[in-house]
Amino acid sequence: MRFYTEQHQHYCGIDLHTRTLYLCIQDQEGNVLLHKNLPCDRTRFLEAIEPYRDDLVVASECIFNWYWLADLCAAEDIPFVLGHALYMRAIHGAKAKNDRIDSLKTVGLLRGGLLPQSYAYPADMRPTRDLLRRRTHFVRKRGQLFAHIQNTFHQYNLPRPQGMLVYKGNRAQVPESFADPMIRKSVEADLDLCTTYDTLIRDLEKSVLRQAKAHDPNTLLCLNTIPGVGKILALTLLYEIHDIGRFESVQRFASYARLVKCEKRSAGKKVGSGGHKIGNAHLKWAFSEAAVTLLSHFPESKKLHTRLKNKSGKGKALSILAHKLGRTVYFMLKRNQAFDQARFLANA
């Protein structure tokens, strides 16, 4: 957990919503200078903070619509701090809660150096990252359609279709397996949607890849040297990590990527673990997938996986391998080096 500890003359805490924002401005002594509800309007916001622009810092909780506020502060050269929503328990765990109280607590945490920070992703690469995440959403929707077709075969105890449905050539004869015209129509509708998703996903991949080559081609090439890491995994790692320098240590990076479990102890005893939802779910998925594909594209890693499996079990072995890959990627990007197979196996 990282806290914002820099000192300023004025502090502004904002409880942000879709159409309105409640802002609270305090000075260094904690005196409330302004406590006001405003519409989410750039001009009205700048007019409200104008008397306190001298050494002002603005903080808001990380919710879905923080982009415009962060971009506005960047354009006006105002420091902006994004609060980590899951760590701000002083707000969410309160007995009484409303917009006025939330903004007051936010500015209090900010002024006291206790505001837990989240990463405010820069505006130049943010749209491409969001487009890549949207592509993942469409892929999962297409997967649900494939699953529905497979379940329809099981419902009527029919032999499964030959080949994988992800390949368009294997779909042509699928509707003919059903005699009932209504069932056939349902399967045809699923397949038509899959074809639409195929075209859309392919187009999105080309757009993201083209933009990635303009944003950071060296990092993209570096990530592609890892066996089993193809176009999509490399793009996901590139845009979800963004800047490896923002992680002070490999341990912080592994925690952010959800590659380690957080242990809770009290009086010298382990009382469980937590923080399963804190971190980047997209990085967790990417490293988990990379650990599986590594085994097929890097045969030498199978001995390591077998040793881990005999010691810790099959599921945990893949988790350990994903953690090791995460540490490898961290040092690759830190040192701007390609994947070293000998070093990877030697450190194992």
Give yes or no: residues 234 and 196 share one domain: no
Domain total of the chain: 3
Query: What are the pLDDT digits (tens) for 282-320?
Result: 999 999 999 999 999 998 898 889 999 999 888 899 999
Neighbours of 58 (CB within 10 A): 25
Q: Rounded to whole angstroms, how far apart are CA atoms 69 and 16?
A: 9
Task: Tell me the pLDDT band of 4, cut-offs 50, 70 and 90.
Answer: very high
Q: Rounded to whole angstroms, how far apart are CA atoms 128 and 187?
A: 34
Domain of 172? 126-215
Q: Domain containing 47 — which CATH number? A: 3.30.420.10
Query: What are the pLDDT digits (tens) for 182-224?
Result: 999 999 999 999 999 999 999 999 999 999 999 999 999 999 9
Predicted confidence at residue 292, as pLDDT, reads 94
Predicted confidence at residue 347, as pLDDT, reads 64
Sheet containing 10-16: give its strands across. 3-4, 115-118, 80-83, 56-61, 10-16, 20-27, 32-39
Predicted confidence at residue 324, as pLDDT, reads 94
The yes-or-no verdict on residue 93 having pLDDT over 80 is no
Q: Choose the final residue of a domain: 65, 100, 118.
A: 118
Give yes or no: residues 114 and 130 share one domain: no
- Model-wide pTM > 0.75: yes
Arithmetic mean of pLDDT, 267-279 = 77
Predicted confidence at residue 267, as pLDDT, reads 78
Predicted confidence at residue 161, as pLDDT, reads 82
Give yes or no: residues 204 and 97 share one domain: no
Give yes or no: residues 280 and 183 share one domain: no
Arithmetic mean of pLDDT, 117-145 = 95
Question: Which tokens hold the place of 108?
Answer: 């209090």
- 271 lies in a domain? no
Give yes or no: residues 209 and 294 share one domain: no
